[in-house]
Structure formats: structure tokens, C-alpha cells
């Protein structure tokens, strides 16, 4: 796990695959309507259901590429499957996620959503001028 999420952000931005992810208009609207707090509750459910066990079902394919802003955030931050968590975040495969690791993943997803949410808000306000 990264101690410094700025360092993680910096590394993610160096990956052409990770940095290309954006919220589409439907995701953005959903985020605006539900709010970040509700989305992070969903993130917590996805993590518990799809990532937390030692050997998650369909590991590597358990996170859809679209359909929920959190899915997009997971691919963008390499928190989508246990291989990506191992490779990018040094969270070992083959054992259940600890509470600490789950909290860390939520923080990473929150960072990405906040970043994209604020750039979204600034775009909206620019359009209103």
C-alpha cells in the first residue's frame, strides 16, 4: 500500500491505460445526484462482494468496464482485481483483504472520484459563464 497517495497518483498518470479513464455523462450525473458519500458506500459493497475474499470469483474480470462510476474509478486506480492490487499496490493475493486494506482501497477510489468530480464541477461552472 502507498503511504503517500500523491505518489500513487503520479505513478497512475504515467500509465497510458490507467490515465485514459473518464466519467461519461451518465456516470457524472449519477455522481452528482447520489453524492460521493453514497458512492463510497457502493464502493465498500463492491469491494466486499468482488475483491475481499482470498480467491474472488472471476478474478481479473469481476469489475465491469462501465455501468457505475466506482467501476471506472477502480480501473483508473488499479483497484479492479487482485492481480492489479498485487502489482500496483503490493496487496498480496491469495488471502482475504484486511480492514486496513479495504479502507485504503476506499481512500484510493475516493481520491480519484473527488479529482474527477471537481474537474467536472469546474467544467460545469465554466459552461454557465
- Using CB under 5 A, list all residues that contact Zn ion: 80-81, 84
Q: How far is the CB of 80 from Zn ion (least distance, A)?
A: 4
Q: Which is nearer to Zn ion, 113 or 120 (CB)?
A: 113
Question: Cβ distance 97 to 52 under 8 Å?
Answer: yes
Q: How far is the CB of 15 from Zn ion (least distance, A)?
A: 12
Torsion angle (degrees, nearest 10) of CA 62, 18, 31, 65: -30
Q: How far is the CB of 89 from Zn ion (least distance, A)?
A: 11
Question: Cβ distance 1 to 90 under 8 Å?
Answer: yes
Q: How far is the CB of 16 from Zn ion (least distance, A)?
A: 16
Q: Which is nearer to Zn ion, 36 or 86 (CB)?
A: 86
Task: Name the closest residue to Zn ion (Cβ).
Answer: 84
Alpha helices in the chain (DSSP H): 5-13, 16-19, 25-34, 36-46, 69-76, 82-89, 99-128
Q: Which is nearer to Zn ion, 41 or 65 (CB)?
A: 65
Amino acid at each position: 500500500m502507498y503511504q503517500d497517495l500523491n505518489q500513487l497518483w503520479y505513478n497512475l498518470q504515467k500509465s497510458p491505460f490507467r490515465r485514459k479513464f473518464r466519467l461519461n455523462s451518465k456516470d457524472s450525473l449519477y455522481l452528482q445526484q447520489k453524492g460521493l458519500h453514497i458512492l463510497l458506500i457502493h464502493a465498500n459493497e463492491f469491494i466486499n462482494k468482488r475483491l475481499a475474499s482470498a480467491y474472488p470469483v472471476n478474478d481479473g474480470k469481476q469489475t465491469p468496464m462501465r455501468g457505475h462510476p466506482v467501476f471506472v474509478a477502480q480501473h483508473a486506480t488499479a483497484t479492479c482485481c487482485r492481480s492489479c492490487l498485487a502489482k500496483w499496490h503490493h496487496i498480496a493475493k491469495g488471502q482475504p483483504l484486511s480492514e486496513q486494506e479495504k479502507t485504503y482501497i476506499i481512500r484510493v477510489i475516493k481520491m480519484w472520484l473527488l479529482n474527477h468530480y471537481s474537474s467536472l464541477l469546474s467544467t460545469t461552472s465554466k459552461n454557465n459563464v
